[in-house]
Amino acid sequence: MTRARIPLYGVLVLLLLAFLAPLLWALSGSFKPRGDIFGYPPQPIPDPFTLDNYQRLFSGQPFWRWFLMSTVVALVATTVSVFVCALAGYGFAKFRFAGKKLLFGVMFSSLSIPFAVILVPLFVILVKTGLGSPWFALIVPWVAPAFGIFMMQQYIVQSVPDSVLEAARIDGASEFGIFRTIVLPLLRPSLGALAVWQFLQSYNSFLWPLVLVSDSSQYTLPLGLQTLFVSEQRQYDLVLAGAVIAVVPAVALFVLLRKQLLEGLSTGAVKG
Amino acid sequence: MFTAPPTRRTLLRGALGLGTAAALTACGGGSTTARTSGDVTLSLWTHDPGYETFFRKGIPEADRLTDFRYHLDVTRAGPADLVTKLLAQAVAGRGTPDTIGFEIGSFPRMLRGDIAPRLLRDLTPDLAAVPGLKDDLLPARLAPFGKDGKVYALDSDTPMVVYYYRDDLFTRWKLPKSTATWEEFAELGARVHRDHGASLCVVSTAGSDPGQIVQSFQMLLYQRGGAFFDADQNLVLDSPEAEETLRFLCEGLRTGFVIDISDYYGAAMQAALKSGKVVGLPMAIWYKNYGLIANVPEQKGRWRVRALPRFTEGGGVTAALGGTGFGVVKDKANTVAATDFLLNTWLTHDGQVRRFTETGYLPTRRSVYTDPGLNATTDDFCGGQHLFRLYRSLLPDVPAFYQSPDQSILFDVLAGNLLRAYRGDVTPRQALKQTAADYRDQAGR
Amino acid sequence: MTTAIAGPTRTADERTTADGTARRPRRPWAPYLFISPFYLLYVLFMLVPVAVSVWLSLTEWVGLGTPHWVGLRNYRLLATDISFHRALGNTAVFVLVAVCVVVPLALLIAQALNTRGLRARDLWRTAYFVPIVVSPILVALIFGLLFDRQFGLVNSVLRALFGTGGVDWLGDPSLAKVSIALVMLWRWTGYLTVFFLAGLQNVPRELYEAAAIDGTGRLRTFTTVTLPALKPVTAFVVVTSFIGAAQIFEEPYLLTGGGPAESTLSVTMFIYRAAFQRQQFGYAAAAAVVLFVLVFGLSQLFNRLLGIGRATS
């Protein structure tokens, strides 16, 4: 039995290398002096090994501010959107009401709208309504994702029994009370799944923070890294170091939520 | 380093007075009150930290020459991103900068419609207000940032194109220290490639950057006397000069005289320089910092700069490539202050001298080229060469570069067709015809 | 990459209705309250901008000043714009790659990861997920390096193995598409694998056991047991990939800039280029409306074809 597995593991290891090699290359490169980064053949172990890139990144650039900005914004956006999606998903899943079909259809259609199209109008609207402060506006595009509503709606239909809700209503529980005490706890896995997705959306976004943020100290990571890489000035060494650190929060979140992610996906949007 | 002569100071005061009056008139109906003196914090947008440093160091001089006490608030982003941001902020009516640096390739977006006059201060009256200034500025470097006789930004550089070469290898291989024409040089290059596997010229095939692909062709085209656009923004690319230049590059690629590299500034170039595959190339003066020193600092002392060979059929001895124009956003409280700041850092004699010594960019005022201090400077990376003297000798040949709002369309279609010609899929003539046809098809949509 | 399937929902909903458990709620305002936070944000920050864009598509606007009404002119110009047609064609290729290559491959990998008694499943899963979280700028840097004609790793390896390695990965129009496809493969496969793996872990064990007792072969088990059980997740992944690939931007933008000769220009890049490089906002908006109509229409068609129902519950 184990012998038959050898080819399987062989394939898995090859895939692992293919998927991780670029990141490992970046990791190793981030510890090399600039002149060695593109050396051929590639040297897996940096020699000489240097922390200089990281030191210059931390001392010469407001890197940790970018990092903090990105992470905090992504976390807030994730939390808000997951909550909003759960609410709306529940509304769509467990109630019948006038206009439901239309409202649902309108939301569905928004899945196919490219963000570049609404960029400028959205920006103008936010500024004209006085909501253009980065802390608020950075979060806006990610708080009402149709994708999330769907996922939640699907999951709730599957995993929240009507009988439980009815019983609670008969006991006189308020609608929001039911949502908070009964529905939300049942949703935990799919909330995790949605959270990972939402986090990535916000964390990796470039165009929106670019238009929005003017103060360099309020830059997000993708924006900050981009400034190290403009036109003729390719600060590869710093970019590699920055990109390596930038991967950490997203992977950490994945590792933390992977159980939920798996359950959430399987029982949510997926189960027939 | 050099103190400004007292006359200059008075002259600039003159400019200040006029600028103030103009701005006040402009703001007559608006709610913004123009600041005329005292503490002022300018918001400055630029893609290049070098400019930030330059302007910060220029604050004392500007404070001395004007009624303001300046502070700077700097925002950095990519060159194209800055324009996107500027326009978005302008539509929203808040958060525009006081001063912004346009990398030359991003400025054409400002030429579309009436964006530039609507958003940017016309600097011509300010320049005219200082006696002698307008005539002292090189017209070639006002052209890229102008429209309808108005100037919207002031260039950071007179970015001449020169020839970089590895002096050590040229000596070892017994190559002549100067070659009169490109044609002779190409023959030499073919031999060098055969004997040593090295190339003397480079064309970029940078996939993600049409502008860079175009640059390789552009510098030789303009040296040869060709152009993309004339002063009226008409496409004049389809010319005998263009065909000759492109044929020259394509033939060079066949013989190995020219090598195609995917990125002038990145990994591929570094590998080519390190391995000795590229031992010389024509490029702009700023390439020493961004291309050579950045990628092969260890080759310090081995590089030299000389003038380009000439084309037998005509043209000059240099071209211009790159540049960044700083402009002032109009109708803001700080418009006057920003204009004065720009004039009193960017355009003073001291400022122009400092620009070369600190950032390596050449003066845009003709008179500054006679500065004895600048002419005495030597360059460590190029083995103590008197680079400035060389540049000074090229000055009369710097051609003007006119831009069009449709330039990005041209660059998109030209880049694709250049690559096809380099690869031999089409002849140079077909490539240029196709470019012109594609351009006409897309421009003005 | 977002969408959803709604079929199972609909059936579930109908079932409950038939059971009589879901009656008309006694608090008719409750559902509206639940969906109101979403709709408030949605109307303000999505519908209004979209409406503005649709209006812009009927104007000529340089991005500043007053837009000029031009009626349907932008749409007429699009109909004859070779670049736009190329962009549509390229995007179709990317969509096909996503749906016909990336998705099946993700399924295969998921199947491998679902092998019973597999060691370190968590490790594989996490590692395969990593590409999607890598910052796009790093992705561009790395793949630009890999695919470089003169100095790239891929060609170096080819040279070492086969003696020839002058492949112009990013410079040849057809190969550039292949390169983009490879990047898509690298970025998205692991992510989609997670979805399939989730679906696979949900296939009741008894089905496999029954198949084993019947002596059904491995391949047959896959086609008769696994695939039908995976239908919902497959539909979900297919539609998600479709919409994602139809809006593909980052891969071509960062790696090839849409070139060479527009051979990798996607529709979203076309839109971006018109708006943010050429200051033709009206034209960009019109292209976006066309893309929207196509994607919306096709995703509806997909939904129907895959038998997963309509977009309502």
What pLDDT, in 10s, does the model give residues A10-26? Answer: 888 888 888 888 888 88
Contact B49, B339 (CB under 8 A): no
Please provide the average confidence, as pLDDT, over all residues in chain A. Answer: 82
Percent residues over pLDDT 90 in chain B: 71
- Closest-approach residue (CA) in chain B for C76: B445
Q: Do C271 and A104 touch (CB under 8 A)?
A: no
Helix (H, G, I), strand (E, B) or coil at A81: helix
Is the pLDDT higher at A197 or at A16? Answer: A16
Q: Is the pTM of this model over 0.95?
A: no
pLDDT of residue B444: 63
| C-alpha neighbours within 13 Å on the C-beta side of residue B378 | 5
Provide φ and ψ at A172, rounded to 5°: 85, 15
Cα–Cα nearest to A90, from A98, A82, A80: A82
Helix (H, G, I), strand (E, B) or coil at B385: strand
pLDDT of residue A218: 83
Please tell me the distance from the alpha carbon of residue A42 to that of residue A33, in angstroms, as a whole number: 13
Please tell me the distance from the alpha carbon of residue B9 to that of residue C80, in angstroms, as a whole number: 59
- Model confidence at B16, in pLDDT bands (50, 70, 90)? very low
- Nearest-Cα distance to chain B for A155, in Å, is 40
Across residues B125-140, what is the average pLDDT?
Answer: 91
Q: Report the amino acid identity of residue B321.
A: L
The 8-class DSSP code of residue B137 comes to B
Cβ–Cβ contact C269 with A under 8 A: no
- Model confidence at B311, in pLDDT bands (50, 70, 90)? very high
- Model confidence at C77, in pLDDT bands (50, 70, 90)? very high
Cα torsion angle, B15, B16, B21, B22, sign: positive
Cβ–Cβ contact B94 with A under 8 A: yes
pLDDT of residue B10: 37
**Does the structure show a pLDDT above 50 at A271?**
no
Please provide the average confidence, as pLDDT, over all residues in chain C. Answer: 80
pLDDT of residue B163: 97
- Nearest-Cα distance to chain A for C129, in Å, is 8
pLDDT of residue C107: 92
Cβ–Cβ contact B90 with C under 8 A: yes
Please tell me the distance from the alpha carbon of residue C265 to that of residue C253, in angstroms, as a whole number: 8
**Does the structure show a pLDDT above 90 at B29?**
no
**Does the structure show a pLDDT above 60 at B243?**
yes
Q: Please give the full DSSP string across chain C, using - where no structure is assigned.
A: ------HHHHHHHHHHHHHT-SPPPS-TTHHHHHHHHHHHHHIIIIIHHHHHHHHHTTEE--SSSPPEE-TTHHHHHHHH-HHHHHHHHHHHHHHHHIIIIIHHHHHHHHHHHT-TT-TTHHHHHHHHHHHHHS-HHHHHHHHHHHH-TTT-HHHHHHHHHHS-----TTTSHHHHHHHHHHHHHHHHHHHHHHHHHHHHTTS-HHHHHHHHHTT--HHHHIIIIIHHHTHHHHHHHHHHHHHHHHT--HHHHHHTTT-STTTT--HHHHHHHHHHTS--HHHHHHHHHHHHHHHHHHHHHHHHHTT---S--
Chains touching chain B through at least 3 C-beta pairs below 8 angstroms are A, C
Neighbours of B320 (CB within 10 A): 29
Cα–Cα nearest to B214, from B319, B141, B291: B319
Please tell me the distance from the alpha carbon of residue A120 to that of residue B87, in angstroms, as a whole number: 9
Please tell me the distance from the alpha carbon of residue A111 to that of residue A196, in angstroms, as a whole number: 18
pLDDT of residue B369: 95
Strand order in the sheet with B324-328: B68-76, B38-46, B99-103, B324-328, B154-155
Strand partners, B71: B41
What Å distances lie between residue C182 and A38, C178, C252, CA to CA?
21, 6, 11
pLDDT of residue C242: 87
Across residues B14-23, what is the average pLDDT?
Answer: 35
Please tell me the distance from the alpha carbon of residue A117 to that of residue C271, in angstroms, as a whole number: 8
- Model confidence at B18, in pLDDT bands (50, 70, 90)? very low
Please tell me the distance from the alpha carbon of residue C259 to that of residue C210, in angstroms, as a whole number: 53
**Does the structure show a pLDDT above 80 at B389?**
yes
Cα–Cα nearest to B38, from B72, B9, B67: B67
B53-87: per-residue pLDDT in tens? 999 999 999 999 999 999 999 988 888 889 988 98
Cβ–Cβ contact A8 with C under 8 A: yes
Q: Do B267 and C77 touch (CB under 8 A)?
A: no
Q: Do A112 and C295 touch (CB under 8 A)?
A: yes
Between the ranges A40-49, B30-39, B317-326, C113-122, where is the mean pLDDT highest?
B317-326
pLDDT of residue B21: 32
Choosing among C278, C280, C281, C283, which should be mutated to test the B contact, i.e. which has the most B CBs within 10 A?
C278
Is the pLDDT higher at C16 or at B62? Answer: B62
pLDDT of residue B410: 94
Cα–Cα nearest to C154, from C166, C146, C144, C145: C146
pLDDT of residue B240: 94
Across residues C85-108, what is the average pLDDT?
Answer: 94
pLDDT of residue C26: 62
**Does the structure show a pLDDT above 50 at C293?**
yes
Residues 223-242 in A contacting C (C-alpha not used; CB under 8 Å): 225-226, 229, 236, 239-240
Range in A212-221, A238-247, B261-270, C36-45 with the lowest mean pLDDT = A212-221
Q: Do B441 and C82 touch (CB under 8 A)?
A: yes
**Does the structure show a pLDDT above 80 at C165?**
no
**Does the structure show a pLDDT above 50 at B93?**
yes
Q: Do C140 and B208 touch (CB under 8 A)?
A: yes
- Nearest-Cα distance to chain C for A32, in Å, is 16
- Per the listing, tokens 């303000």 go with C44
Structure tokens at B287: 């390439």
- Nearest-Cα distance to chain B for A124, in Å, is 5
Q: Do C62 and B115 touch (CB under 8 A)?
A: yes
Q: Dihedral, CA atoms, A109, A115, A121, A122, nearest 10 degrees?
A: 90
- Closest-approach residue (CA) in chain C for A229: C137
B320-376: per-residue pLDDT in tens? 999 999 999 999 999 999 999 999 999 999 999 999 998 889 999 999 999 999 999
In this structure, the strands spanning B99-103 and B324-328 are antiparallel
Structure tokens at B9: 């100071």
Residues 36-75 in C contacting B (C-alpha not used; CB under 8 Å): 62-65
Q: Do C278 and B109 touch (CB under 8 A)?
A: yes
Please tell me the distance from the alpha carbon of residue B103 to that of residue B361, in angstroms, as a whole number: 14
Q: Dihedral, CA atoms, B298, B304, B307, B309, nearest 10 degrees?
A: -90
**Does the structure show a pLDDT above 80 at B271?**
yes
**Does the structure show a pLDDT above 70 at B22?**
no
Across residues C120-147, what is the average pLDDT?
Answer: 83
Please provide the average confidence, as pLDDT, over all residues in chain B. Answer: 88
**Does the structure show a pLDDT above 70 at C25?**
no
**Does the structure show a pLDDT above 60 at C206?**
yes
Contact C12, A158 (CB under 8 A): yes
**Does the structure show a pLDDT above 90 at C84?**
yes
Question: Which ipTM was obtained for this model?
Answer: 0.80
Q: Do A214 and B271 touch (CB under 8 A)?
A: no
- Closest-approach residue (CA) in chain A for B78: A230
B188-232: per-residue pLDDT in tens? 999 999 999 999 999 998 767 888 999 999 999 999 999 999 988
Rounded to the nearest 5 degrees, what angle is found at the Cα of C228, between the Cα atoms of C227 and C231?
Answer: 85
The 8-class DSSP code of residue B203 comes to E
**Does the structure show a pLDDT above 60 at B27?**
no
Percent residues over pLDDT 90 in chain C: 20
Q: Report the amino acid identity of residue C175.
A: L
Cβ–Cβ contact A204 with C under 8 A: yes
Contact B339, B328 (CB under 8 A): yes
- Nearest-Cα distance to chain C for B58, in Å, is 33
Cα–Cα nearest to C153, from C182, C174, C125, C184: C182
Neighbours of B442 (CB within 10 A): 21
Which residue stretches of chain A are H helix?
2-29, 52-60, 63-94, 100-109, 115-128, 134-137, 146-159, 162-170, 175-178, 184-203, 207-212, 221-227, 236-265
Please tell me the distance from the alpha carbon of residue A130 to that of residue B51, in angstroms, as a whole number: 32
